[in-house]
A and B are shown apart, each in its own frame.
Chain A
Amino acid sequence: MPNQVKPSIFHRILRIITARPASKSGERGLSLGAQILSQLFLLFVAATVIYPILWVVSMSFDPRDISRPTELRLNPFQGGLSVKAYADIIQQPTANPVSLGQLMFNSFRLATLTGLASIIVGVFASYAFSRLRFRGRQVLMIAVLTVLMLPSIATLPALFVLLNKIQFDVGSGVFNLRNSLIGVGLAILSGSLPFAIWNMKGYLDTIPRELEEAALIDGCTPNSAFFRVTLPLSTPVLAVTFFLGFMSTWTEFATSWLFLTDPKNFTLMMALYNMVGQYSDSTPWSHFAAMSIIIALPVTIVYLFVQRYFVGGLAIGGVKG
């Protein structure tokens, strides 16, 4: 049997460009006029999508080292690339005495722990809602949905006051739960946990019940059927729910800005707000651009790979903002 020839890169690119479904007989192509009109329209839309992104990327690499862009520059390679903005940012992003590493570490800790906590605590409840029948199921589901409906800001006054009540003396001063990353994490979890429960329940509903029933017939107890059959099968939704929780906390602003006062606890988004908000007169825009990219790039890349698993189904449930 002859070796199958793998399509060359060129052919693959050509296929993406022409992206024609294997043409069946009877299908009509577009007339040239309609094709040109469609292309013009789609190109215009693509230009509006890419415009802000090109602007920010080329500003972050701007070699001129100026504080404000005096003219439009969309080609990042125009006049050469400079990574000075990134180097400056890594040393000290804002006037606060805190390094980019510390900011990243804070955001990363916060996002990882709230993301993990929401799936670990939530998965059992979502299993109960999806599979088990019990008295009060309806009421409890409405209780979860009610929180889902509320924006996270609508519970901030009480969370601020209650977390602020938990203060105690530690050797070097007073520990205030409100003014700590743990407090911020708890406040974020209070809104992200119901979302996680609902999101995971939706997926568990689609796992065939027969798989568990088969395990029960083979002598599994209901609990071990959950741990050995359903839980392993729901790994994709655990990963996606963790990622959604991670991403919303990674870019969370309202709670951390309200709660935290000590610069060593600050998060990336708080630093970015300092660079565009009312205190930003001295920040060069190349710094702001580099900082935006540093924050956005990791989550954007991961999102790009996982979005096709859930963007279509996002209409049910939804991400809390």
Chain B
Amino acid sequence: MTALANRANVPKKEIHRRSIFRTVTPYLYLLPAFIVMGIITYYPMLYQVWMSFTDYGLTNLRYNAPPPNFVGLANYINIETNQLGLSYYYFWHVLGFNLFWAFSNVIIHVALGILIAVILNRQGVWFKGIYRALYILPIVVPQIIVANIFKNMFDPDYGAINQGLAILGKFFFDLSPALFHIHWIDQIDYPVSWIPLTLSYYALLITNVWLGWPFMTIVASGALQSIPKDLYEAARIDGASENQQFWRITLPLLRPAMVPAAVYGLVMTFNLFSLIYFLSGGGPLNETAILVTTAYDLINQQRLYGVAAAFCVYIFFILLALTLITNSITRATESYDA
């Protein structure tokens, strides 16, 4: 009532002025960001779509150079039919490996993250504080520096991995240190002949597992602490074993926290440029190349800007599909839990 009465006292013009102010203000707040993003984000994205239909190359970069030729869908077709200058490039192999890379990593990160979180959060485990402090290190050290360090660690002669394995092999199994000159990064033969994955995939996997599990452990620890203790109490009274408690109580109650974290990890790993570019460079024979490293090679080595633009349009749609699928999975689990 008082609001209405107040309103009646305000002249009509003033109300009009205020309502215009209300509708305009939000856009004024948005203006700075969208001007900047319009120029350096959205305009380049649209420009890139145009570029993808041209043969934009090194010669078109010069000042006052003629505009590139329109080539229609040629770039898209060449990418798909492997007609690029890149050696050992097969589009479907890159895409397939990229998906496998992301999924295999995230499955291991989540499983290991939960396992470590469950053991770390058991009642009465000693040195919890020290372990927590140590386990945060892989998150806080910059990823690209870790990629660098592991690149040298996987060196066949001087790397810490082979040297460490040699010491362990000598100590436990009395193996000759000469056995451990494993060419982690550049061995072409598959270590397991019927699994088409090179040793460099395993090296990348080891590095990324080192980087990835602590985040999942933190998420799982948070969720574990919010599970009511009475549930376990009740389960114990009903005679459930520790194993049953884990599968029937812990795991289902962790899921709402782990699913979004896994989706986030999946997208991050799918686009993990720095690790692959620094550690294996996509090699050997392009076996461990993913979409983003291929796009980068197209610009940085080949200087094929038009083709690279088309490749990035592919990346956009692949990511869009991946995001929509994972989002619907997240939603599905949400409604299940509710």
* A interface residue numbers (CB < 8 A to B): 16-21, 27-30, 34-35, 38-39, 41-42, 45-46, 48-53, 55-56, 68-72, 121-122, 124-125, 127-128, 132-134, 137, 140, 143-144, 147, 149-151, 153-162, 164, 167, 174, 186-187, 189-191, 193-194, 197, 222-223, 247, 250-251, 253-254, 257-258, 269, 272-273, 276, 285, 288-289, 292, 295-296, 299-300, 303-304, 307, 311-312, 314-316, 318, 321
Contact A50 B148, CB 8 Å, known A39-B127, A194-B37, A295-B142: no
Closest to B61 in A: A164
Q: Which of B38-46, B76-84, B247-255 contacts A (4 or more CB under 8 A)?
A: B38-46
The answer to the question of B296 belonging to the interface, with a C-beta cut-off of 8 Å to chain A, is yes
What would 8 more interface pairs be, CB under 8 Å, given A251-B142, A321-B273?
A52-B153, A137-B26, A153-B271, A157-B308, A272-B145, A288-B148, A295-B142, A321-B143
Contact with A along B241-268 (1 / 0, CB 8 A): 0000000000000000000110010011
Which among B47, B129, B167, B319 is the interface contact of A72 at CB below 8 angstroms?
Answer: B167
Closest to A28 in B: B123
Q: Which of B87-95, B190-198, B214-222 contacts A (4 or more CB under 8 A)?
A: B214-222
The 7 residue pairs across chains A and B that have the minimum distance between CB atoms: A125-B33, A158-B48, A134-B26, A128-B29, A151-B271, A158-B44, A29-B124
What is the CB-to-nearest-CB distance from B217 to chain A, in angstroms, rounded to a whole number?
Answer: 9
The answer to the question of B151 belonging to the interface, with a C-beta cut-off of 8 Å to chain A, is yes
| Complex contact B48–A153 (CB within 8 A) | no
What is the CB-to-nearest-CB distance from A261 to chain B, in angstroms, rounded to a whole number?
Answer: 12
What is the CB-to-nearest-CB distance from B74 to chain A, in angstroms, rounded to a whole number?
Answer: 16
The answer to the question of B320 belonging to the interface, with a C-beta cut-off of 8 Å to chain A, is yes
Could you name 17 residue pairs across A and B whose Cβ atoms are closer than 8 Å? A27-B123, A52-B160, A125-B30, A150-B319, A153-B296, A156-B296, A156-B299, A157-B298, A158-B47, A161-B47, A161-B60, A189-B36, A197-B33, A223-B25, A253-B277, A288-B148, A321-B273
Residues from chain A with Cβ under 8 Å of B139 in the complex? 303, 307, 311
Which among B51, B296, B300, B320 is the interface contact of A149 at CB below 8 angstroms?
Answer: B320
Q: Which of B5-13, B100-108, B130-138 contacts A (4 or more CB under 8 A)?
A: B130-138
Residues from chain A with Cβ under 8 Å of B96 in the complex? none
| Complex contact B299–A258 (CB within 8 A) | yes
| Complex contact A18–B56 (CB within 8 A) | no
Which among A68, A254, A295, A316 is the interface contact of B145 at CB below 8 angstroms?
Answer: A295
Which among A70, A193, A194 is the interface contact of B158 at CB below 8 angstroms?
Answer: A70
Residues from chain A with Cβ under 8 Å of B148 in the complex? 272-273, 276, 288, 292
Which among A72, A134, A151, A186 is the interface contact of B160 at CB below 8 angstroms?
Answer: A72
What is the CB-to-nearest-CB distance from B113 to chain A, in angstroms, rounded to a whole number?
Answer: 11
What is the CB-to-nearest-CB distance from B302 to chain A, in angstroms, rounded to a whole number?
Answer: 11
- Which B97-126 residues sit within 8 Å CB-CB of chain A? 116, 119-120, 122-126
Complex Cα distance, B26 from A191, in Å, reads 23
| Complex contact A193–B36 (CB within 8 A) | yes
The answer to the question of B305 belonging to the interface, with a C-beta cut-off of 8 Å to chain A, is yes
Q: For B41, B131, B219, B323, which residue has the most chain A Cβ atoms within 10 angstroms?
A: B41
Closest to B56 in A: A161
| Complex contact A45–B41 (CB within 8 A) | no
Which among B36, B61, B122, B214 is the interface contact of A161 at CB below 8 angstroms?
Answer: B61
Which among B33, B36, B47, B135 is the interface contact of A46 at CB below 8 angstroms?
Answer: B135
Complex Cα distance, B135 from A49, in Å, reads 7
The answer to the question of B23 belonging to the interface, with a C-beta cut-off of 8 Å to chain A, is yes
Closest to A161 in B: B305
Complex Cα distance, B27 from A124, in Å, reads 10
| Complex contact B157–A68 (CB within 8 A) | yes
Contact A71 B163, CB 8 Å, known A17-B126, A158-B47, A193-B41: yes
- Which B13-59 residues sit within 8 Å CB-CB of chain A? 23, 25-27, 29-34, 36-37, 40-45, 47-48, 51, 56
Closest to A21 in B: B123
Contact A149 B144, CB 8 Å, known A56-B149, A161-B61, A193-B33: no
| Complex contact B40–A187 (CB within 8 A) | yes
Closest to A196 in B: B33
Residues from chain A with Cβ under 8 Å of B143 in the complex? 251, 321
| Complex contact B32–A121 (CB within 8 A) | yes
| Complex contact B151–A276 (CB within 8 A) | yes
| Complex contact A285–B152 (CB within 8 A) | yes
| Complex contact B130–A17 (CB within 8 A) | yes
What is the CB-to-nearest-CB distance from A179 to chain B, in angstroms, rounded to a whole number?
Answer: 11
Complex Cα distance, B164 from A125, in Å, reads 52
